[in-house]
Amino acid sequence: MEFTEAYKQTGPCCFSPNSRYVAVANDYRLVIRDTFSFQVVQLFSCLDKISYIEWALDSEYILCGLYKKPMIQAWSLTQPEWTCKIDEGPAGVSYARWSPDSRHILTTSEFQLRLTVWSLLNTACVHVQWPKHGSKGVSFNKDGKFAAICTRRDCKDYVNLLSCQSWEIMGSFAVDTLDLADLEWSPDDSSIVVWDSPLEYKVLIYSPDGRCLFKYQAYECGLGVKTVSWSPCGQFLAIGSYDQMLRVLNHLTWKTFAEFLHLSTVRAPCCAAIFKEVDEPLQLDMSELSLDDNFMPSNYDASEGYISVRYEVMDLPVALPFQKPLVDKPNPKQGVGLLAWSKDSQYICTRNDSMPTALWIWDMQRLEVAAILVQKEPIRAAVWDPTCTRLLLCTGSSHLYMWTPSGAFCVCSPLPGFSITDLKWNIDGSCLLLKDKDPFSWATVPPLPVSSDYSSDD
Is residue 54 assigned to a domain?
no
- For the segment 173-185, the average pLDDT, to the nearest whole number, is 97
pLDDT at position 171 over 60: yes
- In this prediction, residue 297 carries a pLDDT of 47
pLDDT at position 299 over 70: no
In DSSP terms, which residues pair with 36 in a beta bridge? none
- In this prediction, residue 376 carries a pLDDT of 95
Is residue 420 assigned to a domain?
yes
Spatial distance between the Cα atoms of 415 and 2, rounded to a whole number of angstroms: 11
Q: What is the secondary structure of 367-435 as a DSSP string?
A: TEEEEEEE-SS---EEEE-SSSS-EEEE-SSSEEEEEETTEEEEEE--STT----EEEE-TTSSEEEEE
Is residue 9 assigned to a domain?
no
* Helix/strand/coil for 294: helix
Is residue 303 assigned to a domain?
no
**Burial class of residue 271 (count of CB atoms within 10 Å of its CB; 0-12, 13-18, 19+):** exposed
User: Which of the 8 DSSP states describes residue 243?
Assistant: T
Is residue 378 assigned to a domain?
yes
The CATH number of the domain holding residue 426 is: 2.130.10.10
pLDDT at position 304 over 50: no
Q: How many CA atoms lie within 13 A of 173 on its CB side?
A: 16
- In this prediction, residue 445 carries a pLDDT of 76
pLDDT digits over 382-405, tens only?
Answer: 999 999 999 999 999 999 999 999
- In this prediction, residue 453 carries a pLDDT of 42
Spatial distance between the Cα atoms of 164 and 103, rounded to a whole number of angstroms: 10
Number of structural domains (the chain) is 1
- Do the Cβ atoms of 3 and 443 come closer than 8 Å? yes
- Angle value at C-alpha 346, between 340 and 350, nearest 5 degrees: 30
Is residue 320 assigned to a domain?
yes
Is residue 458 assigned to a domain?
no
76 or 270: which carries more pLDDT confidence?
A: 76
Q: How many CA atoms lie within 13 A of 145 on its CB side?
A: 5
- Angular region, 228: left φ>0, alpha ψ -120 to 50, beta rest: beta
Is residue 15 assigned to a domain?
no
- In this prediction, residue 448 carries a pLDDT of 67
Predicted TM-score of the model (pTM): 0.89
- In this prediction, residue 84 carries a pLDDT of 94
Beta-strand runs (E) in 289-356 = 300-301, 305-313, 318-319, 336-341, 347-352
- In this prediction, residue 308 carries a pLDDT of 82
Q: What is the secondary structure of 33-61 as a DSSP string?
A: EETTT--EEEEEE-SS---EEEE-TTSSE
Amino acid at 81: E
Of the chain, the end-to-end C-alpha distance in Å amounts to 13
Which residues span the domain enclosing 316? Answer: 231-280+308-324+334-447
pLDDT digits over 332-362, tens only?
Answer: 788 999 999 999 999 999 999 999 999 999 9
- Do the Cβ atoms of 22 and 2 come closer than 8 Å? no
Pairing of strands 71-76, 83-86: antiparallel
- For the segment 9-37, the average pLDDT, to the nearest whole number, is 92
Spatial distance between the Cα atoms of 320 and 368, rounded to a whole number of angstroms: 18
